[in-house]
Amino acid sequence: MVKVIKTERRVLKSMPSFFKDRKPKKKRPQGDENQTTDHQIERIQVSLSGNLNMIEQKTGNSSDVVIREIKMGGDSDIKTAIVYVEGIVDNQSIQEYLLQSMMKDDHKEVINQQNAIDLLSKDIMTIGNISPITNFDDLFASLMAGDTLILVDGVDQALSASTKGGEKRSIAESTTQMVVRGPKGAFTESLGTNTAMVRRIIKTPDLWMESLKVGRVTKTDVTLMYIHGIANDKVVKEIRQRLHRIDIDSILESGYIEQLIEDQTLTPFPTMYNTERPDVVAGNLLEGRIAIFVDGTPFVLIAPAIFMQFFQSAEDYYARFDIATSIRLLRIFMFMISLIAPATYVAVTTFHQEMVPTMLIVAIAAQRESVPFPAFVEAVLMEITFEILREAGIRLPKAIGSAVSIVGALVIGQAAVQASIVSPAMVIIVSITAIASFATPSFDMAISARLIRFLFMIGAATFGFYGIILCLLMMVVHLCSLRSFGVPYMAPFAPFIPVNNGDTVVRLPWWTLRQRPRLITANTVREGTNQYPHPPASRGMVNRDFEEGDNNEA
Amino acid sequence: MKRKGVFLLLMMTMTLLLTSCWSKKELTDLAIVSAMGIDETKDGRFHITLQIINPGNVAGGMQGGGGSQSPPITIYSASGDNIVEASRRASGRISRRLYYAHTNLVVVGERLARKEGLNTLIDGLDRDPEFRNTSTLVIAKNSTAADLVKTLTPVDKIPANKVLKTLEFTERKWGENVKTSLQEVMKSIESPGRGAVVSGFRLVGNPQQAQKLDNLQESAPAATLRASGIAVLKKGKLVDWLYGKPARGTVWILDKIQGTDINIDWAGKKEAIAYQTVRQKTSVSAQVKNGKPHISVHTRAEGDIGDMEVPVDITDPKVITKIEQSLRKEIKKELRVAIERAQKNKTDILGFGEVVHRTRPNQFKKLKTEWNDVYFPKLDVDITVEAYVRRAGLRNKSFLSGVKENQK
pLDDT digits (tens, 9 = 90+) for A274-285: 999 999 999 999
Q: Look at strands B136-141 and B196-204 and give their pairing.
A: parallel
Are A300 and A439 within one domain?
A: no
Q: Which residues of B touch A466 (CB under 8 A)?
A: none
Report CB contact under 8 Å: B59, A463.
no
CB contact under 8 A, B55 and A424: no
Contact A141, A133 (CB under 8 A): no
Chain B interface includes A374 (CB < 8 A)? yes
Check A362 against B20: CB less than 8 A apart: no
Contact criterion met (CB below 8 Å) for A47 and A151: no
DSSP string, A416-448: HHHTTSS-HHHHHHHHHHHHHHHTSS-HHHHHH
Question: Could you tell me if B230 and B114 lie in one domain?
Answer: yes
Cβ partners under 8 Å of residue A209, min gap 6: A195, A223, A224, A225
Quick one: B359 and B255 in the same domain? Answer: yes
pLDDT band for A417, please (50, 70, 90 cuts): confident
**Residue burial B126-155, b: 16+ Cβ < 10 Å; e: rest:** eebeebbeebbbbbbbebbbbbbbbbbbee
Tell me which of B191, B214, B242 is where a domain ends. Answer: B242
Of A362, A463, A464, the CB nearest to B58: A362
DSSP-derived 3-state class of residue A394: helix
Q: Which residue, among A214, A211, A220, A225, has the nearest Cα to A278 in the 3D structure?
A: A225
A425 plus A480 within the same structural domain:
yes
B167 and B251 fall within a common domain: no
Based on the domain organization, do B258 and B237 belong to the same domain? no
User: Are the beta carbons of A35 and A74 closer than 8 angstroms?
Assistant: no
Whether A369 has its CB under 8 Å from any CB of chain B: the answer is yes
pLDDT digits (tens, 9 = 90+) for A309-343: 999 999 899 999 999 999 999 999 999 999 999 99
Per-residue model confidence as pLDDT tens digits over B243-301: 888 999 998 898 888 888 888 888 888 888 899 988 889 999 988 888 788 899 999 99
Lowest mean pLDDT among A23-37, A442-456, B155-169, B299-313: A23-37
For residue B316, pLDDT over 80 is answered with yes
Domain boundary among B210, B242, B274: B242
pLDDT for the residue numbered A39: 56
Confidence of residue B385 (pLDDT cuts 50, 70, 90): very high
Residue A247: pLDDT over 70: yes
Give yes or no for B55 touching A (CB within 8 A): yes
The 10s digit of each residue's pLDDT in A77-123 is 788 888 999 888 888 888 888 888 777 766 677 777 777 777 777 77
Is the pLDDT score of A23 beyond 70?
no
Contact partners, residue B131, CB within 8 Å, separation at least 6: B100, B101, B103, B125
**Residue B12: inside a domain, yes or no?**
no
Nearest to A330 by CA among A315, A345, A348: A315
Residue A76 CB partners (closer than 8 Å, separation 6+): none
Q: What does the DSSP 8-state code read for residue A115?
A: T
Residue B358 belongs to domain spanning: 244-408
- With CB atoms and an 8 Å threshold, state whether B55 touches A365: yes
- Tell me, yes or no, whether B105 and B77 share the same domain: yes
Number of domains in chain B: 2
Are A395 and A281 contained in the same domain?
no
Task: Tell me: do A283 and A428 sit in the same domain.
Answer: no
CA–CA separation, A374 vs A372, rounded Å?
7
DSSP code at position A226: E
Question: What pLDDT, on a 0 to 100 scale, did the predictor assign at position A275?
Answer: 93
pLDDT of residue B212 exceeding 70: yes
Domain identity same for A78 and A122? yes
Asked if residue B371 is part of any domain, the answer here is yes
Dihedral sign of CA atoms A500, A503, A508, A512 in order: positive
Looking at the fold, whether B127 and B199 belong to one and the same domain comes out as yes
Q: Does A423 contact B at CB distance below 8 Å?
A: no
Q: Does the residue B20 lie in any domain?
A: no
B130 with B261, same domain: the answer is no
Bridge partners of A151, per DSSP, are A81, A158
Based on the fold, state whether residues A120 and A150 are members of the same structural domain: yes
Both B222 and B369 in a single domain? no
SS3 labels along chain B = CHHHHHHHHHHHHHHHHHCCCCCCCCHHHEEEEEEEEEEECCCCCEEEEEEEECHHHHCCCCCCCCCCCCCCEEEEEEEECCHHHHHHHHCCCCCCEEECCCCCEEEEEHHHHHHCCCHHHHHHHHHCCCCCCCCEEEEEECCCHHHHHHCCCCCCCCHHHHHHHHHHHHHHHCCCCCCEEHHHHHHHHHCCCCCEEEEEEEEECCHHHHCCCHHHHCCCCCCEEEEEEEEEEECCEEEEEECHHHHHHHHHHCCCCCCCEEEEEECCEEEEEEEEEEEEEEEEEEEEECCEEEEEEEEEEEEEEEEECCCCCCCCHHHHHHHHHHHHHHHHHHHHHHHHHHHHHCCCCCCHHHHHHHHCHHHHHHHHCCHHHHHHHHCEEEEEEEEEEEEECECCCCHHHHHHHHHC
Instruction: Examine the domain organization and report whether A339 and A468 are in the same domain.
Output: yes
- The identity of residue B8, as a single letter, is L
Q: Is B123 part of any domain? A: yes
Look at residue A176 and give its three-state secondary structure. Answer: coil
Residues A396 and A468 occupy one common structural domain: yes
In a domain, B4, yes or no: no
Per-residue pLDDT band for A552 (boundaries 50, 70, 90) equals low
Quickly count: other Cβ atoms within 10 Å of residue A418's Cβ: 10
What order do you get walking across the sheet with B261-266 strand by strand?
B261-266, B269-289, B292-308, B380-391
Enclosing domain of residue A346: 318-488
**B139 and B230 housed in the same domain:** yes
Residue B23 with chain A: CB contacts under 8 Å = 351, 464
Say yes or no: B55 and B202 in one domain: yes
Residue A29 clears pLDDT 60, i.e. is over it: no
- Report the domain count for chain A: 3
Percent of the residues in chain A that have a pLDDT greater than 90, as a whole number: 39
Spell out the residues 6+ positions from residue A453 whose beta carbon is closer than 8 angstroms to its own.
A338, A339, A340, A342, A343, A383, A433
In a domain, B99, yes or no: yes
Instruction: Please give the Cα distance from A197 to A189 (Å, whole number).
Output: 12
pLDDT confidence of residue A541: 65
Q: Are B163 and B141 a contacting pair, CB within 8 Å?
A: no
What is the rounded radius of gyration, in angstroms, for the C-alpha atoms of chain A?
31
Residue A543, min C-alpha distance to chain B (Å): 45
Asked whether residue A326 falls in the same domain as residue A294, the answer is no
Q: How confident is the model at residue A30 (pLDDT cuts 50, 70, 90)?
A: very low
Q: What's residue A230's pLDDT?
A: 93
Instruction: Report the half-sphere exposure of B186 (CA within 13 A, side-chain side).
Output: 16
B15 occurs within a structural domain: no
Give the gap in angstroms from C-alpha A453 to the nearest C-alpha of chain B.
19
| Residue B212 belongs to some domain of the structure | yes
pLDDT exceeds cutoff 50 at A492: yes
Asked if B269 and B198 sit in the same domain, the reply is no
Q: Which of B223, B242, B261 is the last residue of a domain?
A: B242
Q: How far lies B172's CA from each of A394, B204, B251, B279, B280, in Å?
A: 58, 23, 10, 10, 11
* β-bridge pairing B136-141 and B105-109: parallel
> Does A101 reside within a domain?
yes
- In tens, the pLDDT along A133-175 reads 888 888 888 888 888 988 888 888 888 888 888 888 889 998 8
Q: Does B29 touch chain A (CB under 8 A)?
A: no
Same domain, A107 and A229: no
Taking an 8 Å cut-off on Cβ atoms, the answer to whether B20 and A463 are in contact is no
Of B27, B58, B158, the CB nearest to A368: B27
Do both A275 and A416 map to the same domain?
no
Cβ of residue A345 closer than 8 Å to a chain B Cβ:
no
**Is residue A322 domain-shared with residue A373, that is, in the same domain?**
yes
A371 touching chain B per CB within 8 A: yes
Q: Please state, for a pLDDT cut of 70, what percent of chain B lies above it.
A: 95
| Domain match, B238 and B256 both | no
Whether B62 and A367 lie within 8 Å, measured CB to CB: yes
Give me the CATH number covering residue B340: 3.30.300.210
Preceding peptide of A304 cis, ω within 30° = yes
The answer to whether position A103 is within a domain reads yes
Q: What is the pLDDT of residue B19?
A: 64
> How would residue A32 be classed by pLDDT, with cut points 50, 70 and 90?
very low
Q: What CA–CA distance (Å, rounded) separates B100 from B132?
A: 8
Q: Tell me the three-class secondary structure of A467-486, residue by residue.
A: HHHHHHHHHHHHHHHCEECC
